A and B are shown apart, each in its own frame.
Chain A
Amino acid sequence: MRHHQTPAVFMKLTMVVSTLLFLGLTQGCVDLKAVQDFANISAESAEYTTLVDNYMDFPQRQKRYQSEDRHAQLEAMAQERLTQQTELLLRHNVIEEYMEALGRLAADEIVDQSEELSQLTTKLQNQAGTSPAETEAFGKIAGVLTNAIGDKWRKRQIQELIERSNDPFQIIVNSLKQIVVEGFGGDDQNERFAIQSYYRTKIAQSSDPAGIAALMEWQEHRENHVAGHTDTIQAYAAILEKISAGHQQLYDGRNDLSKDQLIQSIKKSAKELKDILSSIKKI
């Protein structure tokens, strides 16, 4: 039996090796874990929309410091900002969705082969007329082939996605960064001004030492709150900067996403993003 089986097994092994050489090894598998991790943490960062809530609430907080005859103007400002809310959240949502899609495309677990592979094994059995053990072996090899082909296709899809999206993605992220730094940051500076003007005026008008001390404490408390918010703004701007730079690196290296230097750099960006996001959530 062994004499009859050996040439057959040899022939089948040769066939498998030929096929692997033809399709598998020549194409190579791509380590997309770094891309996946970077995309996932970027998507999680984009979920953070507390700064938008604060922007919406700014006119209401101003009412605390400004006389009633200015409240109508602040209310009009609040209404105008409310009309921007959906568009602002859309920026976050689009970055999140895009990064989720990129991460999912780069994820290995996307292909659940269990059922389909069992069907393929049956096909192979019929085609090759092998023994059960060999059929099982072919099934496993088919899995390797499936991954090799899937990887190649997946890599091309990711390359195309990054290439097609980089320009609009950079515009959206940089526009959001501008809104965060100049807009939300500008609000913080205006709020700090309002706090100082309000409390300094009250203090200058007062001759009660205990009252002045209390006012100074409240001023400090309010200013500290704004300072904490400004820290969050700066941290979030850094997150957007890293997302932008990371995607640009992927774009620049899109023709060789398995390049070690690129993988290391993207891994570093993902870790830094994770650290900043974690620090923001603690504020």
Chain B
Amino acid sequence: MPLTAQEAFELSKQFRDLANTLADRRFSSWSTLTPTQRRDMEDEEWSLLNSSSDMITKAVGLALDESDASIDSIKKSIKKAKSAIKKLEKVSQIITIAAAAVGLGAAIVSKDPGAIAKNAKLVLDSTKVLSA
């Protein structure tokens, strides 16, 4: 079963805890240890520490992999939002709707059913253009 980012981070902590335990032991028993024993223990500590750091690197890579699909998805959303912004910037389309709406208002006041239907269709069509 492949490792998850969370599991890899957990492993990095365990390596670090082991390095800490070993270092505590080395310093608390300093006077009773031979120079060789001290050096060997210290070597193990650095190895454990580097394993912890390597595991962090691995975990970061896994976390990046795990969120790759979401990155693609959000990029699509950004693209769509930018397109919407461009549309908003194309005020002429909005103005078209406003003009059509004013025409509809005039038709309603004049109580001309034909003009109301025609202008209502214009408003509807303009809105569709903007929503496309």
Interface centre among A101, A164, A204 (most CB of B within 10 A): A101
CB < 8 Å neighbour of A168 from B45, B61, B77, B97? B77
Interface pair A186/B42, CB less than 8 Å apart? no
Report the minimum CB–CB distance from B90 to chain A (whole Å): 9
Interface pair A165/B88, CB less than 8 Å apart? no
Residues on B with beta carbons closer than 8 Å to the beta carbon of A73: 50
Interface pair B60/A179, CB less than 8 Å apart? yes
* Bound Cα distance A200, B25 (Å): 13
Total A residues in contact with B, Cβ cutoff 8 Å? 78
Nearest to B13 among chain A residues (CB) is A186
Q: 0/1 per residue, A160-185, Cβ < 8 Å to B? A: 01001101110110011011001100
Interface pair A186/B71, CB less than 8 Å apart? no
- Flag whether B122 is at the interface (Cβ < 8 A): no
* Bound Cα distance A101, B95 (Å): 23
- Flag whether A98 is at the interface (Cβ < 8 A): yes
Q: Is the interface of A mostly helix, strand, loop or mixed?
A: helix
- Flag whether B102 is at the interface (Cβ < 8 A): yes
Total B residues in contact with A, Cβ cutoff 8 Å? 61
- Flag whether A127 is at the interface (Cβ < 8 A): yes
- Flag whether A94 is at the interface (Cβ < 8 A): yes
Residues on A with beta carbons closer than 8 Å to the beta carbon of B34: none
* Bound Cα distance A178, B71 (Å): 16
CB < 8 Å neighbour of B80 from A80, A128, A161, A171? A161
* Bound Cα distance A283, B93 (Å): 48
Q: 0/1 per residue, A114-152, Cβ < 8 Å to B? A: 001101100110011000000000100010011001100
* Bound Cα distance A24, B58 (Å): 56
**Contacts A111-B89, A179-B63, A186-B13; is A16 near B105 (CB within 8 Å)?**
yes
Which residues from 10 to 48 on chain B have a C-beta closer than 8 Å to any C-beta of chain A?
A: 12-13, 16, 19-20, 23, 27, 30, 42, 45-46
- Flag whether B3 is at the interface (Cβ < 8 A): no
* Bound Cα distance A149, B104 (Å): 14
**Contacts A70-B50, A127-B102; is A105 near B84 (CB within 8 Å)?**
yes
Residues on B with beta carbons closer than 8 Å to the beta carbon of A189: 16
Residues on A with beta carbons closer than 8 Å to the beta carbon of B101: 19, 22-23, 145, 149
* Bound Cα distance A199, B1 (Å): 41
* Bound Cα distance A96, B5 (Å): 24
* Bound Cα distance A101, B19 (Å): 46
* Bound Cα distance A102, B89 (Å): 15
Report the minimum CB–CB distance from B119 to chain A (whole Å): 10
Give 7 A-B pairs besides A98-B74, A157-B81, A178-B6 with Cβ atoms closer than 8 angstroms: A94-B75, A119-B92, A150-B91, A161-B80, A183-B9, A189-B16, A193-B23
